[in-house]
Structure 1
């Protein structure tokens, strides 16, 4: 067993489990682009039916911050885009169509079409950016024989694709999406499933994530340590965003892996 070395000390670790979005890759670079496309396509399809997605309501749908050009520049770390499943996001959009008089079946068909259009654009653009210091940290953990897995609110197939785009899929023994478990974050199911497949006890794992849902998932599973990566959140926001974290670091440069006691 190796040690994970943090600014607060050392922790013996049998495996490291990572959230994906905002933890392995920059959240806005991927999901800001995807959400903007999805919302724009949904608005266009409503307009073709003489209906309107009101501009003032758009930020509240997924919990996003938009600049004057309509691009998404930030997001609520505890909001739907960060914490919700894909089914949650699609249901939020479908509800907007239903409120304006469309049948649930018709509005779900529109959402599915928008999803395909947004996914096609993403496949072409591949707008993924790894967090600073990530590759160095993954390589160091692998060199010390620490098993690693991904536990994400995204669906497994999409997560696998994004990891391949980043060129880091081979670092992970398992990729667990929310579609593989009965309950997503903050429940412990994904950690438990990952540990079962890795053949280890949750009490020996470290969970790294960027939302308090990740931290609560770790606590519920009995993980050894929950590490929060707050990204661009201000110091004043961090205590609320990651209130259940054991350790908070700004970058992977603050983390390393070494031999016990070395």
Structure 2
């Protein structure tokens, strides 16, 4: 097996999902409910988020869905607020979320680049917040390619973002590994003809990921060892 490039999901892969996105859920729902905590809790239930505990259900649309999909779920419960406005509120809350890296990212990414690998990010977050998140921890320049759901390549589980990355870095999909924490990530990788690496820094259990992954690792920090063995 020869791997010349890695394309990463962002939330739950580069960044630990639970410790990063609990605050986002609270902030976004407080804004949408105008500070009414009971209303915020009701909206949280709609998107699979326990407002009091700042915790997501495994089936939450927030885990792998796009901002548009989250807004679509909330719109019927927010009469008088346009879906576009909900998207804007979610994007602002997302951009403000403090990112908690799954591992020390700069040295990990520097090691991958020194090994000659091309690196990309494919996220179902919007592109602008995604770039802010990468910039906030000083790793934006480590990536050759960053795509959000609104970048024009579609979104996961479709393969469009991944194939756009492959074209951008001029590497055959079979020589690229898609790294992610959800079924959307791994299904996209399989659809693109890539190697698939699952990680356990999101909300999915190993039993969920294994059928769609060539390997499941505790976190991305185990990738260099796995590559050297394969």
TM-score in terms of structure 2 length: 0.86
Equivalenced residues, count: 229
Helix, strand or coil at the partner of 2:167:
helix
Decide whether the 8 Å contact of 1:184 with 1:190 is kept in 2: yes
More strand by share: 1
Deviation of 1:22 (Å) = 0.8
Helix, strand or coil at the partner of 2:30:
helix
User: Are 2:123 and 1:152 aligned?
Assistant: yes
Deviation of 1:74 (Å) = 4.1
In terms of mean alpha carbon deviation, does 202-211 or 242-251 score higher?
242-251
Q: Distance in 1 between matches of 2:144 and 2:82?
A: 39
TM-score in terms of structure 1 length: 0.76
Deviation of 1:228 (Å) = 0.5
- Superposed CA deviations along residues 215-247 of structure 1, whole A, max 9, x for unmatched, are 000000001x1011122658xx32124531110
User: Are 2:30 and 1:62 aligned?
Assistant: no
User: Are 2:80 and 1:108 aligned?
Assistant: no
Decide whether the 8 Å contact of 2:43 with 2:77 is kept in 1: no
User: Are 2:115 and 1:130 aligned?
Assistant: no
Deviation of 1:65 (Å) = 3.9
In the TM superposition, 1:1-262 aligns within 5 A as 11-44=1-34, 53=39, 55=41, 57-66=42-51, 70-76=52-58, 78-97=59-78, 102-103=79-80, 106-108=81-83, 111=86, 114-115=89-90, 118=93, 123=96, 127-223=98-194, 225-231=195-201, 237-256=205-224
Deviation of 1:114 (Å) = 3.9
Helix, strand or coil at the partner of 1:213:
helix
260 and 53 in structure 1: CA distance in 2 versus 1, 3 angstrom threshold: closer
Helix, strand or coil at the partner of 1:24:
coil
Structure 1: unaligned runs, 5 residues or longer: 1-10
Deviation of 1:136 (Å) = 3.3
Q: Distance in 2 between matches of 1:139 and 1:243?
A: 31
Deviation of 1:254 (Å) = 2.2
Q: Distance in 1 between matches of 2:181 and 2:226?
A: 23
Decide whether the 8 Å contact of 2:20 with 2:99 is kept in 1: yes
